[in-house]
Structure 1
């Protein structure tokens, strides 16, 4: 795990030392635009021109791997099975391709989200990381460069029903209990991990893992998705494909514990158990950065300063659409969903 000074692998001793022990990680210690942050409503600046985020509405090739620091989903890209792209929002007209999905989880009573909302931490945070394909050839180059990375943060809270796409990942997590294990994911649809709201907040920040490059436009969605406590801890029947040193793509059928908090940092049962969770970086200083939002009702209107807003129309969600992009629609059930908003 690497939370609040605990270990990060065998050589390093926590995020507070990343920039001190390894020169390429100096930004982790010296950077002024680091992530994650605590987002408080009184720091939000309303941006009437901020558009919704669009995500390609397609399935992708992917695998989930236990890196020893986090459960990570690696997204493939080929002519026959391209990766999904992001556009809109605060991305200045650029197109970003989703490269990976990082998952930050808690354990027991300790919640796992990296970003906090007015001091509140959520059980899980899902981060969809994408690189600018208009300017850069690959994720690595983009991560070191201006306007290189876009990161969508989806916060996960407990609820009565688990998000269907998150349920796929939860079941698959049974196959990555130890570092180095990996599971092939069939027909993953990243856009289904996003809640149905167009309201977002955004700020300029950094990667939350070494070397903390300050090249990330963060987009936090103003509504969590949900997972039930039963889906976090209950025994479920899964069919998984393992891909590690001992078992190269060996298909197995067995009962597994689909429980995020039990994923190990160690490589096998014979080692002394070290749990991966909670795998979060501490909240960083906001300093003078702006946090922009398109959530109008958070901003108190003053008679002497009224903003003329553009008229916005939305696609209907009642019928299946043939369009390939997913816009998080603004229309939702107020009785059902307003109580679940992150920023009220």
Structure 2
């Protein structure tokens, strides 16, 4: 499936081909504090959510997931080493320093993750793209501090007060497409939701992740986990939908803008084009400038 599938992930999100879908509602993530543990599995660090009677589950619903509820199972973390491009997905062919993937299974249709991952409508994946900033997201900081305890494979440490919902930006913009898991066996049962606002990590904290190693103990020539992203896959004509609607006057043809005229606002490689476009749009519509932490 990994080499022959036609719905593999990750993919490049091409803003010029996005399809606006007015029926896409906001995505909801339960505001629950969970017990979890972060584990070095060799290929990546993974946060496992402990779903038990003692601790509340985190349900994900809304948007392209309707009418089902999905129970958060884990978070997979992708990052670089010695560079600033470690995300799996890219936007307009540009990568980001880090990507956190919240993986949930359809608890309305299936009893557990193992059943869901191989079945239709089985998995939801919320992708958070991470950009360099002056302050690390509070929940991401908890995970970053824990990396010092999981330097080697099979090491794990508890995180008993993690709040996954606090990692999500307040705004509800996103893009979505049907794809696959990005690790073997690459099951094509995943509804991907890529949030349209980054969260932030300092450069120093990002470097902490790059110290994680694939081996059980120290070796003479260390084998580091990063970079641990899968290569981009062919979209094979898949539709990528969005709930991002651009506002303009219906009779103003000059300012009707396709989604290709927007971009991941945190991407430093695209800022040169920003001032001119911003000033033209403000002059014609007297609107406020775009929020700088928008991604599309």
The two structures have a TM-score, normalised by structure 1, of: 0.73
Residue 88 of structure 2 is aligned to residue 114 of structure 1: yes
The answer on whether the counterparts of 1:110 and 1:278 sit within 8 Å (CA) in structure 2 is no
Name the counterpart of 1:274.
Answer: 223
CA distance in 1, matches of 2:249, 2:173: 17
How well do the aligned residues superpose, as a CA RMSD in angstroms? 2.0
Task: Provide the rounded CA distance (Å) in 2 between the counterparts of 1:94 and 1:226.
Answer: 30
- Return the match for 2:212 from 234, 240, 263: 263
**TM-score, normalization by structure 2:** 0.85
1:292 matches 2:246: no
Q: What stretches of structure 2 of length at least 5 have no aligned partner?
A: 257-287
Give yes or no for contact 1:34–1:212 (8 Å, CA) kept in 2. Answer: yes
**Post-superposition offset of 1:182:** 0.4
Which residue does 1:100 correspond to in 2? 74
- 1:102-251 residue pairs with structure 2 within 5 A? 102-233=76-207
1:51 pairs, out of 25, 33, 46, with: 25
- List structure 1 segments (4+ residues) > 4 angstroms apart after TM superposition: 298-304
Whole-Å separation in 2 of the counterparts to 1:114 and 1:138: 26
Deviation, structure 1 residue 137: 0.4
- Alpha carbons 2:84, 2:96 under 8 Å: kept: no
Counterpart CA distance in 2 for 1:301 and 1:271 is 65
Q: Deviations over 1:186-207 (max 9, x none)?
A: 2111111111210010000000
In 2, the alpha carbon distance for the partners of 1:45 and 1:191 equals 27
Q: Secondary structure at the match of 2:2?
A: helix
**Cross-structure match for 2:10:** 36
Instruction: Tell me how many residue pairs correspond in the alignment.
Output: 263
**Bigger share in strand:** 1
Deviations along 1:50-97, whole A, 9 cap, x unmatched? 011100101111100000000000111111212201010110210000
Q: In the aligned structure 1, how far is the partner of 2:98 from the partner of 2:75? A: 13
Alignment equivalent of 1:338, drawn from 284, 291, 294 = 291
Secondary structure in 2 matching 1:54: strand
Equivalent-residue separation in structure 2 for 1:220 and 1:299 (angstroms): 25
Q: CA deviation at 1:298?
A: 8.4
Unaligned runs of 5+ in 1: 1-26, 234-258, 307-333
The answer to whether residue 55 in structure 2 is matched with residue 81 in structure 1 is yes
Kindly tell me: are residues 302 and 129 of structure 1, through their superposed partners in 2, closer, same or farther at Cα, counting changes over 3 Å?
A: farther
SS for the counterpart of 1:174 is helix
After superposition, the Cα gap between the structure-2 partners of 1:270 and 1:147, relative to the gap in structure 1 and judged at 3 Å, is same
- Counterparts of 2:74 and 2:251, CA distance in 1: 43
Q: CA deviation at 1:110?
A: 4.8
What's the offset of the Cα at 1:300? 10
Structure 2: how far apart are the matches of 1:170 and 1:35? 26
